[in-house]
Amino acid sequence: MPWTNKAAILAAGLMMLPAPVLAQSALPFTQVEGRLVLDVLGQRLTMPPPDWVAADADLAAISERVSTRFLEDGGQAQLTIYKRGEGEAFWSSLYGARISTETDMDLAEFRSRVVNVYAQSCDPDTVALFQLEPDTEDALPPLGYVCGAYLDAFTDFAGQGEVMVMGFYKSEAGLGLVFQEWRGEAFDAGTPASWPVPAETVEARMAQFKSEVSLTLLD
């Protein structure tokens, strides 16, 4: 698995929407052929269910395993999916997506901005990024992000770290990000055995983000 340690990452902004105070009472997505479908901002995002939900679970079964937060505002939308019983302050794994109507930014720049946002909360000596295959002209492969320890100033999660998988997508109407995060006690970023999630699970999720996620124009 190729690794690149990042002591400094490009400074840039990213859409970051405030989350509603209360979880949604109804799921904000539908389901087609086992995949979640979110129609928003003139775009359709299709993605696999969270990894803690059975692949063949229907919407009723999914609703028993998750709570959701969804917000759409000013050409941006954010979906966050938590394990049932977890939430914004206390979570071991979360899943979600962000979609915008930004059409002038390419995927490489979008990826840099996203990574910068997450890296701002992490000790730079414990940050690592990895891909399982190189970039191509037409698409970016899913990205693995590892933060072995949050900065002490990031007090809500002091003493913890996270592993994250991100997929970056573009349609004629905008940009999309799909992500899954796993959090636990601080760890050695360069030692996968110490991560809060098995490396095999991370790699499997990256493969799904490549083959099972799409962002298209909404008919």
pLDDT digits (tens, 9 = 90+) for 163-191: 999 999 999 999 999 999 999 999 999 99
Phi and psi based region of residue 174 (left: phi greater than 0; alpha: psi -120 to 50; beta: remaining): left
CB 162 within 8 A of CB 141: no
- Predicted model pTM: 0.87
CB 94 within 8 A of CB 118: no
Tokens representing 45? 């995002």
Looking from the CA of 206 toward its CB, the CA atoms found within 13 Å total: 21
Instruction: Give me the count of residues in the chain.
Output: 219
Instruction: Please tell me the predicted confidence (pLDDT) of residue 207.
Output: 97
Tokens representing 171? 């349609």
Instruction: Please tell me the predicted confidence (pLDDT) of residue 145.
Output: 98
- Which ranges of the chain would DSSP assign to H, the alpha helix? 59-63, 107-119, 199-211
Tokens representing 167? 């997929």
